[in-house]
Amino acid sequence: MMIPHYSTPEQLDRLYALGVTMYGQMTAGSWMYIGPQGIVHGTTLTVAQASAMQAQTMGSSDTSCAGKVFVTSGLGGMSGAQPKAATINGCVCIVAEVDGNALRKRHAQGWLNEYYTTVEEVMLRAKQAQRDKEAVSIGYLGRSDLYCLLLLLCCCCAACAAFVSSLYPYK
């Protein structure tokens, strides 16, 4: 966020180069906001920057999104931007959505490539796409507890299993 007193073009360029800001236009108050298509640009930049920051954190020079899995939820309103932005960047995107009408609408509109109704189908498809470094958005008609299963199935580590167990204290 830029404070008006400091929002000079030079300051914006400096902060953009550091990867800590981007040109706004990502709010409903913006003149260019027109539903999902108005937010895709900023969301695409955000996903790309997250991949670059992850690479830097991991000590890698590969900032590509290819083979990386981006997990999110919700396909109502302007949420079609997330799967579109992820595929533009080359990610495998998994989107959980509880409303079947919203999921089918985003699929029919082309914002979502494909969707499934079981976690097993989503996992098999995501693993295949990740292995092949395929850019694809995969919808899941179900609750966002999919994330917990993703942690267990993808990470398979004791720390993740302990974290997931802590989310479900009442077994």
- Strand ranges (E), the chain: 69-73, 92-97, 114-116, 136-141
Architecture of domain 36-167: 3-Layer(aba) Sandwich (3.40)
Residue extents of the structural domains in the chain: 1-33, 36-167
Q: In which order are the strands placed within the sheet that holds 69-73? A: 69-73, 92-97, 136-141, 114-116
SS3 assignment, position 71? strand
Q: Is residue 123 scored above 50 in pLDDT?
A: yes
- Distance, in Å, from the CA atom of 155 to the CA atom of 16, rounded to the nearest integer, reads 32
Q: What is the pLDDT of residues 35-53, one digit of tens each?
A: 566 678 778 888 888 888 8
**pTM > 0.75:** no
Q: What is the pLDDT of residues 87-97, one digit of tens each?
A: 999 999 999 99
